[in-house]
Structure 1
Amino acid sequence: MPEPPLSGCVPAFGRHGSYPIRLGWLAKVYSALREDPLAFSRPQAPVVLGVGASMVRAMRFWSRAAGLIRDGKRTAAGRPAILTRRGTWLLDDEHGADPYLDDPATLWLLHWWLLSARPCHLPTARFLFGHWWKSRFTRADLRAAVQRAARLSGWREPSPRLVGRDITALTARYAAPRPPVPAAALEELLTSPFRQLGLLAADPSATGQDRAPGEHLILHRHRGNTAPRAILACACLEYAHTAATQQHGSITLGRLLTDPAGPGRLLLADRAALRAALTWAAEEPLAGRIALTESAAADDLLTFTAPPLPLAGHLLAHRYHRPDGPGDPR
C-alpha cells in the first residue's frame, strides 16, 4: 500500500508567513546565532538581523527547515536556536563552504535539503515536486490538490488561506514574473536567489482574463538535469541513507528516480541525469566505494561498500574543496 501523499511532512502550513528565503538571510542567521543562540527571541532581533519584525520568524523557519539550525530546550528567556554541523559547514564566514550562496550548486543543495528533510517542513512544496503530475496548472488547482492530499494523509484539512501562503512563497522563491516586472516587485526579484534554478515559471501562454499575475504556472520537468553532478549524486546517497537500504548496500536506480521523496522527483532529474552523475562519482571521487551496474534485463543497481551518508558528505567535500562534509544535521 502506498504511503499517504504527505507522509514524512510536518502537518503545518504557511509558517514562513509567505516570505521566501532572501539573499543574505542565512548568513545573517549564522552570524547572529554564533554570538547569541537566543538572538531570535530578543526584542532587538529585527535590528540584529536587519529585517522587519514579521520576517524574523521566517528566517528562523527557513534555517530550521533546511537543517541549518535546530531548536534547543526552552528557557525563561526563550527557545534557543542551535547551529547544526551542517549550518556551520555551509555558513561559517571563514571556513564555510558557501556562506553567501555564490555558487549555484548551493541553491540546488538547499532545495534538496529543504524538500528531503525528515520531517519536511514544506508539505505544499513536497507535494508539488514529489507527487504533482501536472506541468501546467493554476494556483487554485494546486491549492485544491494540497487540501485533498492533507485529507488523504489523515490531517485536518488546511484552510485555503494557509495553503495559499505556501503557494505564494513557492512562486516568490522559484518563479520569475513575466515581463514587464512591476517596480514594486523588482527588489523581491533581485533578492530571490532560487529563481536562478528555473524550476517554476509564470505561464506565458495564459491570455485574456487568465493573465492574473502568478496565477498560471509551469513546472519545468527535467530542469534538474542541469544540476551539478556532485549534487545529484549526493542526493542519491542521502536518499539511500534515509531509505533504510544500508543493510543491503544497494538501491535501484528506479527507486531513486520515481520515489516521491527521492532525487528524481524532488530535483526534477531524469534517469539519464542520475545515471551520469552516479557514473561520474563511481569513477572519480568515490572510486571503489560505489558502483552503478547497468542491466538490460533488470533495473540498474547502485551499490556502496560504506554507509551512504558519509559518502554523500565526501562528495560535497570534493565539490566545495572542504576537508569534510556536513554530516547529519540531526
Structure 2
Amino acid sequence: MAFAKHQSFYIREGWLTKGIKAIDKDERFFHREDAFVKLGLGKNMVQALRWWMQATGLAGEKKKKGSKNVNYLTEDFGEKIKENDKYIENKNTLWLIHYHLASNENEASTWYWFFNIFKEKTFKKEDIIEKLSMWAENTFDKKVAETSLNRDVDCFIRTYLPSNKQLSPEDTMECPLTSLNLLKEDLNDRKVYHFNSVDKSQINPLVVAYCICDWAINIKNSGEVTLDELLRSPKTVGLIFNLDFTSLTDILFQLDNEYPELGFKVDRTAGLDIVKVPIEDGIKNKILNLIYQRESKTTLTGGTRV
C-alpha cells in the first residue's frame, strides 16, 4: 500500500522521457545529490519522478552489493518503450502506461482502487476520499491520514483531467494521460466528475491484447479465461479501460481476424464465452513489437500516429 508518494506532483509532459534517459545512463541517478540539477527539476520533483517511473511500470528499484539502491528499466516494458517511443509520442504508449499505473496496487494504491474497486461512474472528490479511506482501512488494517488521501485524490484527478483554473507556468504542463479522456467534469457542476466509457475505436486492439496477456500470465496463470473475468476481475481491461461486453468481444474477434498468429480465440459455444489467451514466453514482447512496427510503417507512409 502506498499513498502520496508523488509529493503532490502529477506526471508532467516530458518527465517520463527524462526518467528513461537518466536510468538508462546511470542506475544510481535518482540517488545522487545533483540529480535535480541535471534534470532541471526541484528536489521534490525528482523524488516524485523516481516514484512515477516505478508506479507506471517503466522502472524498478532494487538493492545491489553494499546495500545501495539502484533503478533499472523493466525488461518487458521500460526497455521496450526506450527502444520504440522514449519521447512518449505514441498514444498506444499512454494506454500502456495507464494500464500499468492502474494495476499497480502496491505503488499506486489510489489509482488501482479507483479503476478496479470503486464502482461509481459519477462522483465527487469527497465521495472518493470517503470510500478510499474505508477500503484502505478494511484491506490493509491501517488508517491512512486524510491529508495523504486528499493529496492522492487531487493528484489522481490531475492525472486524467486538465485543470480549468488559473495556474503557475509549471502547473500548466498537463499530464499526458489527460489525452485519454477517461475523466470529464460535469457541464453543470464542476465538482462532479464522470468516468468515461472507452469507445473501441479509441484504442488499438494490440494494446488490449498486451494487457490481457499480462493479466493472464501474472494474475490468472492460465491461457483460458472467461469474458466475464476480463470484464469484472481486478487488473483486467474491462475495468481499467471501462470497456463494455460488446466492445471487448468486438476487439477479441478483431484480434483473431487480423492477428491470427497471436492465438486469441473466443469460444461462445453454449454461452460459455471462453477466451483462449496466448501465454507463452515472449508473447508480450511480440505484441509490443507488432504495436510499434505498425506505428513505424504508418509514420513512414505519411499516416497519422494514434
TM-score normalized by the length of structure 2: 0.88
Q: In structure 2, which of residues 158, 178, 186 is the aligned counterpart of residue 203 of structure 1?
A: 186
Q: Deviations over 1:129-153 (max 9, x none)?
A: 1121212211111001001001221
Preserved CA contact (<8 Å) 1:233 1:274 = no
- Residue 122 of structure 1 is matched in structure 2 by 108
Question: Which one-letter code corresponds to 1:298 in the other structure?
Answer: G
Question: Which one-letter code corresponds to 1:300 in the other structure?
Answer: D
**1:278 Cα deviation (Å)?**
1.7
Q: Separation in 2 of the partners of 1:43 and 1:78?
A: 14
Distance 1:321 1:227, change over 3 A: same
Counterparts of 1:183-262 in structure 2 under 5 Å?
184=167, 188-206=171-189, 215-222=191-198, 226-246=202-222, 249-262=223-236
Distance 1:288 1:115, change over 3 A: closer
Preserved CA contact (<8 Å) 1:282 1:291 = yes
- Residue 328 of structure 1 is matched in structure 2 by none
> CA RMSD, aligned part only?
2.2
Stretch of structure 1 that moved more, 72-81 or 123-132: 72-81
Question: Which one-letter code corresponds to 1:319 in the other structure?
Answer: I
Q: Separation in 2 of the partners of 1:243 and 1:28?
A: 31
Q: Separation in 2 of the partners of 1:111 and 1:309?
A: 24
Q: Secondary structure at the match of 1:251?
A: strand
Q: In structure 2, which of residues 283, 288, 301 is the aligned counterpart of residue 311 of structure 1?
A: 283
Q: Separation in 2 of the partners of 1:309 and 1:188?
A: 42
**1:58 Cα deviation (Å)?**
0.8
Please list every run of at least 4 consecutive aligned residues from structure 1 whose deviation after the TM superposition is greater than 4 angstroms. Answer: 74-78
Distance 1:261 1:33, change over 3 A: closer
Distance 1:72 1:24, change over 3 A: same
Q: Deviations over 1:264-283 (max 9, x none)?
A: 00111112222222222222
Preserved CA contact (<8 Å) 2:80 2:288 = no
- Residue 266 of structure 2 is matched in structure 1 by 292
- Residue 56 of structure 1 is matched in structure 2 by 46
Q: Separation in 1 of the partners of 2:262 and 2:205?
A: 18
Distance 1:134 1:244, change over 3 A: closer
Preserved CA contact (<8 Å) 1:19 1:55 = yes
Paired positions, count: 293
Distance 1:288 1:126, change over 3 A: closer
Q: Percent identity?
A: 25
TM-score normalized by the length of structure 1: 0.82
Preserved CA contact (<8 Å) 2:123 2:193 = yes
More helix by share: 2
- Residue 25 of structure 2 is matched in structure 1 by 35
Q: In structure 2, which of residues 111, 120, 135 is the aligned counterpart of residue 149 of structure 1?
A: 135
Distance 1:38 1:144, change over 3 A: same
Segments of structure 1 that go 5 or more residues without pairing to the other structure are 1-10, 323-330
Q: Deviations over 1:194-223 (max 9, x none)?
A: 1100111222221xxxx5xxx432211345
- Residue 3 of structure 1 is matched in structure 2 by none
1:90 maps to 2:81: yes
